[in-house]
Amino acid sequence: MRKALFAACCLVVTACKTAEPAPTPPAPPPPQEQPAPEPKPLPPGLDGSAINQQANPCDDFYEYACGNWVKNTEIPADRPRWSRGFDAIAARNEEVLREVLEAASTGKVVEGTPYAQKVGDYYGACMDEAQLDASLPALKAELAKLTVAKNAKELARVVGTMHARSVFPLFRLGSNNDFKDASQMIGEVDQGGLGLPDRDYYLKEDEKSKSLRTAYQEHLKNIFVLLGETPEQAAKSAASVVEVETALAKASLTRVERREPKNLYHRLERKGLKAEAPGFQWDVYFTAAGAKDLQALNVTHPPFFKEVERLAKSTKPETWKPYLTWQYVGSVIPTLPKSFQEERFRFTSENLTGAKADVTRWKKCVRFTDGALGEALAQPFIAKTFGVEGKTTTQQMVVEIEKAFERNLDTLAWMDAPTREQALVKARKIVNKIGYPDKWRNYDALRVERGSFLGSWVNAAAFEQARQLAKIGKPVDKDEWLMSPPTVNAYYNPPFNEIVFPAGILQPPFFNREATAAVNFGAMGMVVGHEITHGFDDEGRQYDAEGNLRDWWTPESDTAFRGRVACVKEQYDGYTAIDELKVNGALTLGENVADLGGLKLAHSAMEAWLAKDAEAAKQVGGYRYSPSQQFFLGYAQSWCSKYRDPFARQMAVMDPHSPPYWRVNGPVVNLLEFQKAFQCQEGAKMVRPAAQRCEVW
């Protein structure tokens, strides 16, 4: 370097010389190159390979947090979607459950497994595919008894008999809390009887909906051919089914209408239902359904049952047979010969999910066994996966977030004192259930047939329906869980005023023993805050601290709340789900409010946690990201997801949750905490103008 400088200077000097030059001072020594500082390590719990460092978090936070994950991840062939959170955990859980079930099905002793014989036999029967191929004669024998309805009395009898087996043509029967007295269980009849996932599939007139209906009718035709009908007969049978289901769809409430609790509560009792729809033989029906003496009854949507009555009176017997046949066959397809399962997969993959391969049999059988004997199968799962630390830390996190909710109440200028006082009472009465039930379910009465998966399936369905109906007229069992512990999910139950976190979700990336507190608060803490906020979203807020549907809001606070959730609805209405389909801001309102509130609460709780726990604060420091950045990245990376297009379309119609992309970017654009964490300036895409910013809780 010195030599080159000297030569250049010399050349210049030689060209311009007019006098004796002054002595040239020696060149200074070159600066010593300083070694680059070691990059700070990535906080444990975050996936550095998922982050797209080329993206600006203030322009598109989901792309920043998940962009490389999305780019490099392939959806497994048998899946309609894949997520770094829910689906990856569920796949790991299935491997654990498979190990338990394989051992139990071969007669090995599985320590800590009650009903080991039953869970092993159920799984073993499911895995016996040769036996499935021999199930058709037994199915046809049942159909001969269950599909003959020559008059109104016979129709009521066969519908009731199917309902006793958890097969629900025309409508559904079950038990539920009395909305006005949540301590008591009553009967409930609800709309149902459809073969497609939602009533809108029957009624929309866009080209994709019409195409799906055509494909569905062809699918039904193929099923009837497999049952032995000629193609001509099968086509007529399929048309009859669609005719009945379309009539039921027209009488059904939309998913948005069903989000309003008052729309679903009509305590008519049995006598009121008989007066509402006298043309249906209700006494015959209830006897066949296993609820002969049922009187206490909620009718969710009375006009729907007027349509049931009309159909019962006007539909010809030859129309009922294919409809009842399809309802029964469609409910037991996993137990039938491979040809039925292949036809079902063909239709769903081409029209609803986009999956490229059917789910392998062992995975199906794990899921079916969990559905039938979930709390028996859960006990060895808990022993293998769920430590005391997970339950203790989650409980501490819940308490801290509940404190954050209480602190936040004092800051809500839009809520007046009387309403705030009632909200505080409700918040303090929320029951927390973490990991698994204190009291396990009894499966003594469930009969499992190792030689017949069809028989075992029907028995399990009948067992569960009988269990539900047996609750009617009794006090609510507050110990009951609505999900099995291996389930990767969480929920808030308004009539119980409880938040529930199964062991299945308390695993990485939602809860990671190795992660920093900030990452865990962003992932699992947000889930906790989300469920707490559900108690105060547009639905949950209508229930009081005891779980009763009761208006405890002053008119002033009610008006202010409605204005704030209208902001959230409008925000999400403007987002695109896929192609021409927009996010339905009304359908997803409760989940969007819970995401927004949950994220805010969890961040506040994290700050309080770090302020009082010097060791946790020390652990969070020294990493590449600040605590708040770790928090938001932990949140976003738990939602990294990819959907196949047909499944994304289905979810846009049915799912009350927004697509994962908007579950990340939707809330953070409203949060000053996010903008501060990433130093986002006004005008950035991840910063909503102050006048448009949405805040509820």
- Beta carbons of 298 and 178 less than 8 angstroms apart: yes
Residue 174: in which H helix or E strand, if any? strand 171-178
For the chain, the maximum distance between any two Cα atoms, rounded to a whole number of angstroms, is: 126
C-alpha span between 378 and 394 (Å, rounded): 19
Tokens linked to 469: 């109906």
The DSSP code for 617 is: H
Calpha distance 398→385 (Å, rounded): 21
Q: Which residues contact 314 (CB under 8 A, 6 or more apart)?
A: none
Secondary structure letter of residue 181 according to DSSP: E
Q: Which residue has the tokens 């210049």?
A: 12
Neighbours of 89 (CB within 10 A): 21
Task: Give the C-alpha separation, 553 to 530, whole Å.
Answer: 21
Tell me the pairing of strands 81-83 and 641-643: antiparallel
Residues 6+ apart with CB under 8 A from 224: 233, 234, 237, 238, 322, 325, 326
Q: Please count the other Cβ atoms lying within 10 Å of the Cβ belonging to residue 496.
A: 22
DSSP-assigned states of every residue in 102-170: HHHHTT---TT-TTHHHHHHHHHHHH-HHHHTT-HHHHHHHHHHHS--SSHHHHHHHHHHHHTTT--SS
Strand partners, 299: 189
Residues present in the chain in total? 697
List active site positions: 531, 595
Q: How many whole angstroms separate alpha carbon 72 and alpha carbon 50?
A: 9
Task: Report the C-alpha gap between 348 and 398 in whole angstroms.
Answer: 39
Encoding tokens for residue 645? 């297009």
Phi, psi of 443, deg, nearest 5: -115, 20
Q: How many CB atoms lie within 10 A of CB 131?
A: 17
